[in-house]
Amino acid sequence: MIKINIGEFIKTLRKQKGLSARKLAEKSGVSQPYISQLETGKNNKPSPDVLQKLSNILDVPYEDLMIKAGYIKTFGDTIRNLRDKNNWSLDELENQTISKNKDGEIVSFITKDRLSKFEEGEIKNPTENEILILCKAFKVPFSLLLTPDIKNNLEISLEDKLKIAAHDLPTTFELSDFARQELIQKATATDVSNADKIKIFDNIQQINSLEDMFIEKFSKVTETLRDIGVMKPKESDSTLEGSADDQYILRNNEIGNLILFNQNINYKGQPLSADQKMRIFEKVIEIMEGPTK
């Protein structure tokens, strides 16, 4: 498939509207020399402001011109970039999309031919299931592949939205956990004052609270949809089962959180101060990261 650059695209649209370059310049407020440079390929990166003006006169969505000019990545561009990042051929990506049942039988996959057509822009209507399969293959959140050029073509049910959210949960928690670990490392540095440590711990607690709120809301929505019959009962819903709860348990049992943010931690019935908790945690780090005997 031959890709048309932004200048050729504008020239084609102009001719379809029966406009000369001079008339397009008059109507849009973009100078005729500038339009000429675009159409002859001397300027391949018009500004978003120029594209906005031209879109109004050429009756083409501004988003389409932004995609053609390379400001917005398409679904196909994103797949190709992710495939290149993983150093996969189309055959290897096809293998990554294979899903098997408990007996080891292949139940679904995306063919190399279809993947190629996605990348070339020949197919612009992937199903939400295909997007989810690719998300799992690339280990990226659904939102990364929900590009503007396909977003409006998708009709996603409530159940599928929950399944998508369940898929994105690990990524959400990985990011927040990364931030938490970075803050803990910063707090345990020898040159950090107690006042700064308290500020850092406040930030960590905010991360914990946001995760708790997210898990609680996600669980409530899930249960509500089950109650009204939109989603399957929990015992048969393998996609969602345990995903939020497991992340909650893992996070709350991380030793730093057990020590630093457990309000009930005590010694012989006496609650520990923030400074005592910090000193205990520093000893734990020393034990875990020190040389093994």
Please write the tens of the pLDDT for every residue from 263-285. 677 788 888 887 787 778 777 77
DSSP code string of 219-255:
HHHHHHHHHTTSS--GGG-TTTTTHHHHHHHHHHTSH
The predicted model scores a pTM of 0.50
**C-alpha span between 219 and 95 (Å, rounded):** 33
Please write the tens of the pLDDT for every residue from 209-243. 777 776 676 666 666 656 665 455 554 444 434 44
Contact 14, 58 (CB under 8 A): yes
Name which of 38-42, 70-74, 96-100 the model is least confident about: 70-74
Task: For the chain, give every domain's residue range.
Answer: 6-68, 75-151, 158-289
Tokens of 1: 């498939």
Contact 201, 194 (CB under 8 A): no
Phi, psi at 148, each rounded to 5°: -55, -35
Contact 68, 6 (CB under 8 A): yes
Cβ burial 29-38 (10 Å sphere, 16+ → b, else e): ebeeebbbeb
Residue 255, pLDDT score: 62
Residue 110, pLDDT score: 93
Please write the tens of the pLDDT for every residue from 116-158. 999 988 888 888 888 888 988 988 877 788 888 887 677 666 5
Cβ burial 262-285 (10 Å sphere, 16+ → b, else e): eeeeeeeeeebeeeebbeebeeee
The CATH number corresponding to 75-151 among 1.10.260.40, 1.10.10.60, 3.10.20.740, 3.10.105.10 equals 1.10.260.40
Number of helices and strands in the chain (H, E): 16, 4
**Domain spanning 6-68, CATH class:** mainly alpha
**C-alpha span between 154 and 230 (Å, rounded):** 19
Residue 103, pLDDT score: 83
Contact 280, 259 (CB under 8 A): yes
267 CA to centre of own chain: 44
Which neighbouring-strand residues pair with 99?
A: 108
Cβ burial 153-183 (10 Å sphere, 16+ → b, else e): eeeeeebbebbbbbbbbebbbeebbeebeeb
β-pairing verdict for 106-108 and 266-267: unpaired
Residue type, 84: D
Topology agreement, domain 6-68 and domain 75-151: yes
Contact 53, 30 (CB under 8 A): yes
